[in-house]
Amino acid sequence: MTVAPSGPEFPIQDIPFSYRGSWLNISPVVAEKTYADDLHLVSHQTGLHPVLRLSPAAAGATVVAAPALLTWRAGRGLIEAVYDGPDTLRIRGRHLGLRIAAAAGTLTPFSGTYLYRDPVDGSHVFTSYETGRRYRVTVLSGALLHADGVEALGAADRFLDLPGDQTWEIAIEEYATARRPYATRVPFEQVCHDRSAEFAAFVDAVAPWRGADTPAAELAAYVLWSATVAPAGFVTRPAVLMSKHWMDKVWSWDHCFNAIALAAGEPELAWHQFQLPFDHQDGAGALPDSVTHSEVLHNYVKPPIHGWALRHLRRRLPQPPERAELARTYDRLARWTGFWLDARRAPGHDLPHYQHGNDSGWDNATTFDDDRVLQTADLAAFLVSQLRCLADLATELGEPADRWSREADRIHAAMLGQLWDGERFTARSPHTGQRRTSRSLLDLMPVALGADLPAPIADALARSVETHLTTHGLATEPTDSAHYLADGYWRGPIWAPSTVLVEDGLRRAGHTGIADDISQRFLALCEKSGFAENFDAETGAGLRDRAYTWTASSYLILAAAQEERRAARR
């Protein structure tokens, strides 16, 4: 009866058990930074909602999670779970009972979970106000031991018990209003085999170069594979969420790193990642701050790294986009760039501005301590890169390119003339013209321009970058800064996107030694601490959300490049 798990085992406390295309996962994470004692079936439709609590009948059951199979063990007792498609779980047990209980509280007209028995097929169905979905439990073999709270209203326990003295198997399905009774002729073992084969094919596609020197590649691939959802709600395309914990959105710069990591092996999925925020571009040309199943937020934006990202994405795609698709992308990128040139430049100013640290993606970086509305060098640099990308696209498509090149030169000159103080870049208030410096790594991000910087400035930035290096990588605020905080979000911890952008810029500026060092330290960090949202710069411990896809993607990007360089030397 036991199925041998395939693929890397992973800690269920850190990484949820899920499946490509599914809006479901199994995890103890039931809210932001909130961990339950038992595993829960969690849905991400309309937000993160724990729907059903899954409690083995024996205390102290151990959990083993692998890409295709989740296992509880207690003595000689065993429960196994596998996805039978994106919206269905098959769960079976032997010598170990299981309680399936509604996770939500009191049932009211506007909250909670209701349980009823369906007279059509005899299944038991939980309906969740929070997700707006039904969760049908169908017994495939064995029998229910007990059902409690059926048709109960108000405050009541609602649960189903599976017996511990016999073998049993059930299916749990998530659906909207009605569907045919569950029926399958595929044995449990075959479902496991199919899931294992699907994941293996994904790993082979996105990390064919993996080996002993890149031991976390399979797990990084799983983080991406398992965080992928099918189109639903405002998610217009197959999408890699940032996480299937509480960071279950697509933010409008995070998606770029996922697109680059997937490009070589999963080009269609990669292209969808790049395009998804553009599906919600507003009339001003702005991208949303974030997109998720049931909301699109426009209260902030994110930095214009999309020209930089598109260059990297296109270099990795096995086939170039069709001309019509490239022209559509050019139009979208032009409108996004136009937003920064038209709506984010004060009259008479050459440089655009952020309205808040959130616009930069570095929400609380020390750059923004005194003023929030700022002209910053990272924004100017990203926009220069995007304008040069647009000039190249225009030439390729037979469109006028001069306007993009002229604007790039104008902003480039203003960045150097107005924000460089001879040692580092400053930030400037568009209201007062006052300039200020900080020790944030954000002020060094123009290094992402690479060879498009004057060599003396690139050299100075490289020296400054080294002051941010710890054993584990690039601290976003130096550890000797008075403002450094070990878990201070962008005021100290190591982040994946800043690492990739700095590493890439240094390498293109000719500083390959420090670029290699940064890459190797970040790879080692992920191999030690997983794929957290960010990391303690001094200890390397993972912080915040522990299954973050842009971190996994950054590992794959850097590892693939490292292996490519090694192959070239051989």
CB atoms within 10 A of CB 468: 24
- Could you tell me which of 404, 263, 270 has the C-alpha nearest to residue 333? 404
- Contact at 8 Å (CB) between 533 and 547? no
Checking if the pLDDT of 62 tops 70, the result is yes
- Contact at 8 Å (CB) between 63 and 13? no
Mean pLDDT across the chain: 96
Residues constituting the chain? 570
| pLDDT tier for residue 15 given thresholds of 50, 70 and 90 | very high
Please give the helix or strand (H or E) that residue 79 lies within, else none.
Answer: strand 77-83
Per-residue buried b or exposed e for 491-529, using 16+ beta carbons within 10 Å of the residue's own CB: bbbbbbbbbbbbbbbbbbbebeebbebbbebbbebbbeb
* Residues 110-164: tens digit of each pLDDT: 899 999 999 999 999 999 999 999 999 999 999 999 999 999 999 999 999 999 9
Checking if the pLDDT of 1 tops 90, the result is no
pLDDT of res. 228? 98
Q: What are phi and psi of 192, to 5 degrees?
A: -60, -45
Percentage of the residues of the chain whose pLDDT score is greater than 70: 99
pLDDT of res. 107? 84
- Amino acid code (one letter) for 347: P
Q: Summarize the confidence of residues 530-536 as an average pLDDT.
A: 98
* Residues 441-481: tens digit of each pLDDT: 999 999 999 999 999 999 999 999 999 999 999 999 999 99
**Domain definitions of the chain by residue range:** 24-197
* Residues 224-238: tens digit of each pLDDT: 999 999 999 999 999
List beta partners, residue 475: 494
pLDDT of res. 185? 82
Residue 225 CA to residue 20 CA, distance in Å, equals: 5
Please give the helix or strand (H or E) that residue 565 lies within, else none.
Answer: helix 549-569
| pLDDT tier for residue 41 given thresholds of 50, 70 and 90 | very high
Q: Could you tell me the two tokens for 445?
A: 């991000």
* Residues 293-318: tens digit of each pLDDT: 999 999 999 999 999 999 999 999 99
473: left (phi over 0), alpha (psi -120 to 50) or beta: left
Checking if the pLDDT of 109 tops 90, the result is no
Residue 382 CA to residue 504 CA, distance in Å, equals: 13
pLDDT of res. 5? 56
**Which residues have C-beta within 8 Å of that of residue 25, sequence separation ≥ 6?**
16, 17, 18, 41, 42, 44, 226, 244
pLDDT of res. 4? 60
- Contact at 8 Å (CB) between 468 and 478? yes
Q: Summarize the confidence of residues 373-391 as an average pLDDT.
A: 98
Checking if the pLDDT of 320 tops 60, the result is yes
Q: Could you tell me the two tokens for 432?
A: 């007062």
Residue 287 CA to residue 264 CA, distance in Å, equals: 25
Residue 474 CA to residue 496 CA, distance in Å, equals: 9
Q: Give the CA count within 13 Å in the CB-facing half-sphere of 344.
A: 30
pLDDT of res. 182? 95
Residue 237 CA to residue 231 CA, distance in Å, equals: 5
- Distances from the Cα of 474 to the Cα of 485, 487, 499, 540, angstroms: 14, 14, 7, 11
The reply to whether the predicted model has a pTM over 0.85 is yes
Pairing of strands 124-128, 113-117: antiparallel
- Contact at 8 Å (CB) between 375 and 351? yes
Contacts 24+ apart (CB under 8 A), 139-147: 139/168, 139/169, 139/170, 140/90, 140/169, 140/170, 140/171, 140/182, 140/184, 141/92, 141/167, 141/168, 141/169, 142/166, 142/167, 142/168, 142/169, 143/168, 145/97, 147/115, 147/117
Pairing of strands 124-128, 77-83: unpaired
Q: 3-state SS of 348-416?
A: CCCCCCECCHHHHCCCCCHHHCCCCCEECHHHHHHHHHHHHHHHHHHHHHCCCCHHHHHHHHHHHHHHH
Q: What is the signed CA dihedral for 455, 457, 461, 462, rounded to 10 degrees?
A: 20
